[in-house]
Structure 1
Amino acid sequence: MKKTASILLTFIMLFSVAYSAPDLDAAVEKSVQYINSAVPSPNVSSIGGEWAVTALARSGAENQQEFFGKYYDNLVKKLTEKNGVLHDRKYTEYSRVILAVTAIGKNAENVSGYNLITPLCGFDNTVWQGINGAIWALIALDSGNYISENTEIRGKYIEKIISEQNPDGGWSLSDTGTSDTDLTAMALTALAKYKNDEKISTAVNSAVEFLSNSQNENGGFSTYGTETSESVSQVIIALCALKIPQNDARFVKNGKTPYDNLMTYYDGNGGFYHDTDKSGSNQMASEQAFCALVSLKRFNENLCSIYDMTDIKKQDENANNTGLSGKNPDINVPGFSENRTFSDIIGNSAQNEIEALASRKIINGKTDDIFAPDMPVTRAEFSALITRALGLVKAENVKNFDDVLADDWFFTPISVCANYGIVKGISDTEFNPNGFITNQETAVMLERAAKICGLENDISQDGARDILAVFEDYTASSDWAQNALAFCYKNDIFSDDTDLINPQNNAARGEIAVRIYNLLKTAKLI
């Protein structure tokens, strides 16, 4: 009898050890190894992308810069290919990317010139996909305290979230749907920062009660009747954001905490199963569990929550973009100042370039809200744009034009441009400041500006003709402009997405913005 009891006790002890929750730090370390193995090249994706990057960055794991660099390079490549548009309808794509970018210390307001925050300032587009859009937009904006002065858009998202809370305290994807554990946890994560507000605290307390009542007897959570590791992962993330410990009496069932339940899905090697069938570790489940483990680790260490990244100092993307070796030392491109956009450029092909320049105060709108991308640009206005873009101020060798007087607003920018050889006038005595600048004239001035940026022009006359021959109307360009046009096309300062140069046509404001932006990029100044 004693022998039988001893065997039974041994079995029970072995069973308990086999299913006891592993040490948190050890599980985090194993998860780091899992991610490094499962995600060799992180990309813009809900699997093998932002969640892996975010959790890895927030885990404090060492020697991950190569991993983060691969992700950032892949992101920039996609933004370039898609002209800055991650998705035309699902704005959670922007939110997810913002979290990853911020987690690795980059500034989501300037990812290779693209401002990923701007789309989330459009409330209607963001919530088109439902409450999920509002939840993750709020989390993303708060992650790096982006546009902190814009309390209106945050207020709209908060109001949207609270207004769609169900009577039982939970949230659902549809207006008539049953409250969903995952979505409720996500909503709590978004509202955690605001829980001390009286109106918001009521919603938070009700949602916490819903989650407590929804918890299964084994400490886990189900979504629409199916218990999954993703559900308990989201709850752990929410509780950590709310600073509610795992052993809070409301979330201990039969002695089991959410963390205890999560670890029953653990495969022992950094991976996690999706459901109780345990038919093989699942990468999505593993990445979500990794986020939960990191959340709990940070909670235990009294650090900012996983999505509260205000503890991270954003790197200036332009810190290393000091230009080419041969650039004029007087060049000083303005840094990022503030987010700027205009109502009439949304969806315009030049939107990202206009926003990038406007955010540096290089280019202005016609009003605070109107840019007028199709309006022509005067020669004086173009001179002002070039001087601001390159940060040039010297006007030592002033060239006198009869139609540019000392009390004219454009006297200084034209004088500065003339000093650096960027402009020369339409004659020895006239500049024609109020005349509209043509496409071929912008090419000539940009080619001259490129030279002081350190770019070299070694294109021969025959070479210029070969480059321009692909355009139907290249013979309409003036002889004095053809070399500069060829230079601008060769160096991607001018876009070659049409078969026409339209050399004699007036250049539009949107086109000018793209060309100046491209010059700065080509010269490695931004």
Structure 2
Amino acid sequence: MKAMSKALSVFLILILAISAAVPAMAADKTALQSDVAGTAAYMYKTVPDPLVGSIGGEWAVIGLARSGYDVPDTYYQNYYATVEAYVKEHSGVLDERKYTEYSRVTVALTAIGRDPANVAGYNLLTPLGDFDKTIWQGINGPIWALIALDSGSYAMPKNTGAKTQATRQMYVDEILSRQLADGGWSLTGKGGSAEAADPDLTGMALQALAKYMSDNDVKTAVDKALTCLSGLQTSSGGFFSWGAASSESVVQVLVGLCELGVSVDDSRFVKNEKTLLDNLLTYRQQDGSFEHTADGSGSNQMATEQGFYGIVAALRAAEGKSSLYRMSDAIKTGGDTSGPKAGEGLAGKNADVRPVPVAYPGKTFSDIAGESAQASRPAIEALAERGIISGKTDTTFDPDATMTRAEFAAMVVRGLGLTPKAGGAFTDVPPSEWYAAYVGTVSSYGIAGGVTAETFAPQSAITREEAAVMLARAAALCGLDTALDGGAVRDVLAQFTDYTASSDWARQALAFCYQEGILPEEDIQIRPKDPAKRSEVAQMLFGMLGDANLL
């Protein structure tokens, strides 16, 4: 009897341990959701009429727009009206010297689905095409120019009045040239100097460089910066800047990690079991506001606005959404609000295309936290949560492996929410194979053809140009306008050194994918015939579904 009782006790203890462990991650996410909602409510109350400005303006708008908090559309419409009036009053000149003004407003407008290229008839992107004036104020200039331009995947604006026409690569190179000997950046430090890194500026630099990790020089610089920041992190999980530990320093590093796809609980950034997020939340007050420093001085509006978008960035990462500054899923405000809601697809989509709901919340893989996959981690997790993409095993994704044409077909069919249906169009696709219905579906909807009239080559690795063609055709099925004339195709592809190596039948699709940010325009080569990596195709599909309003 005692033995049975003891066994029962052990069993109960195991059950309790398991039940306590399973919801831990969900509980953390739930707590963070509550914190974000509380601070959003505080922000909405304390900034009822956002202005054009670094306090009580764009950062409040960005935080609210990216938080998912239920804000009346009139709030954003009123802000846009304020921006229009301000731009008119200043004849389109936000500042003669500080071009970060254009960047900040651009990010805010992008976050609410407005076009910064046409505000009261003025193009607020144009100043960012002037390299010399943009970098005049130091490292902040190129950092925020890249963040702004990439937030909406905007083409580099042509500035006919500029002494030096800017390119994205020039801004990337400018940031890299200012990296300090310790691996970080500072406001005034010169490249290679022994000046100590500032965590705020280093975090911001990472935010700007996050979309350029395919560049080996960028990757090397980012790795060095992460090592630097890990060494600077205090035993309480925070950072010192300008002689004091502050919430703002934590925010910039946290957002930088989220943009890179580095997990908040990455071992490099956990000190005494305290993460960056743990530290940031110690500055949060009961009413939802944030302190600047933990000295009991009370709420600080700048700290609150930064703390707000910091926890929003962390929550978006936890929920598998696009990062704070990757805004293909930005809310739409103003104008006709009777159209499709966020995530419900575009008005012109095929009736068979449906959004795919989250079925496996929190799904991730053990091998996507490393350097090779960190940029695509949010995409991989968002697709895996919906069952659109699967791992090589239940716990591993194998991001650098290739993907077969059959696997890609299955991923696209699932991503569009289409019902698989078999078809006998290809002699090398036996009806008994798991992929037969998926191949039949992409064929019947015109998303993919065969490599010949009779064969599909299901087990061949899909190339980058083949993936682009299938996704462009899928995008058209989703209601996106994929048509580009010959001149537009040439203009987009001419920037790549190997564009002539692409197949004629793939060029329009490639141009569409680069123009829409589905393929990263910062690459200098298309590599059209190279097999696409699993991480690459996940990022491509994620970008297309975001553009199609299906996420």
Q: Does 1:208 align with 2:226?
A: yes
Distance (Å, rounded) in 2 between the aligned partners of 1:164 and 1:179: 11
What aligned pairs does 1:370-449 form with structure 2 within 5 A after superposition?
A: none
Alpha-carbon distance change, 226 to 189 in structure 1, aligned in 2, over 3 angstroms: same
Q: Does 1:186 align with 2:233?
A: no
1:167-226, Cα deviation, whole Å (9 max, x unpaired): 111001113543110000000000001113211100000111111000000001111331
* C-alpha contact 1:107 1:315 (8 A) present in aligned 2: no
- The corresponding residue for 1:140 is 148
- 1:265 match: secondary structure: coil
2:96 is matched by which residue type in structure 1?
D
- 1:145 match: secondary structure: coil
- The corresponding residue for 2:489 is none
Q: Does 1:30 align with 2:48?
A: no
CA RMSD between the two structures: 2.3
- The corresponding residue for 2:217 is 199
User: How big is the shift at 1:319?
Assistant: 11
Q: Does 1:230 align with 2:230?
A: no
- 1:35 match: secondary structure: helix
**TM-score under structure 2 length normalisation:** 0.52
Q: Does 1:105 align with 2:113?
A: yes
Percent identity at matched positions? 49
Q: Does 1:48 align with 2:56?
A: yes
- The corresponding residue for 1:174 is 188
**TM-score under structure 1 length normalisation:** 0.55
- The corresponding residue for 1:161 is 175
User: How big is the shift at 1:92?
Assistant: 0.3
* C-alpha contact 2:66 2:330 (8 A) present in aligned 1: no
1:208-255, Cα deviation, whole Å (9 max, x unpaired): 111100000000111133100000011110111011111110000001
Alpha-carbon distance change, 26 to 317 in structure 1, aligned in 2, over 3 angstroms: closer
* C-alpha contact 2:156 2:168 (8 A) present in aligned 1: no
What aligned pairs does 1:240-389 form with structure 2 within 5 A after superposition?
A: 240-312=258-330
* C-alpha contact 1:21 1:264 (8 A) present in aligned 2: no
Distance (Å, rounded) in 2 between the aligned partners of 1:272 and 1:26: 15
1:206 is matched by which residue type in structure 2?
K
Distance (Å, rounded) in 2 between the aligned partners of 1:149 and 1:115: 9
* C-alpha contact 1:42 1:53 (8 A) present in aligned 2: yes
1:123-181, Cα deviation, whole Å (9 max, x unpaired): 10111101110100000000001116989610110000000000111001113543110
Distance (Å, rounded) in 1 between the aligned partners of 2:217 and 2:63: 31
Alpha-carbon distance change, 93 to 32 in structure 1, aligned in 2, over 3 angstroms: same
Distance (Å, rounded) in 2 between the aligned partners of 1:265 and 1:63: 25
* C-alpha contact 2:254 2:310 (8 A) present in aligned 1: yes
- 1:23 match: secondary structure: helix
Distance (Å, rounded) in 2 between the aligned partners of 1:120 and 1:262: 32
- The corresponding residue for 1:58 is 66
Higher Cα Rg, which structure = 1
User: How big is the shift at 1:314?
Assistant: 6.8
User: How big is the shift at 1:70?
Assistant: 1.7
Instruction: Note the residue ranges of structure 2 that are not aligned, 5 or more in a row.
Output: 1-27, 159-164, 339-551
Instruction: Note the residue ranges of structure 1 that are not aligned, 5 or more in a row.
Output: 1-19, 321-526
Alpha-carbon distance change, 220 to 319 in structure 1, aligned in 2, over 3 angstroms: closer
Alpha-carbon distance change, 149 to 199 in structure 1, aligned in 2, over 3 angstroms: farther
Distance (Å, rounded) in 2 between the aligned partners of 1:149 and 1:37: 37
70, 93, 96: which one pairs with 2:101?
93
User: How big is the shift at 1:278?
Assistant: 2.4
- 1:129 match: secondary structure: coil
User: How many residues are paired up?
Assistant: 301
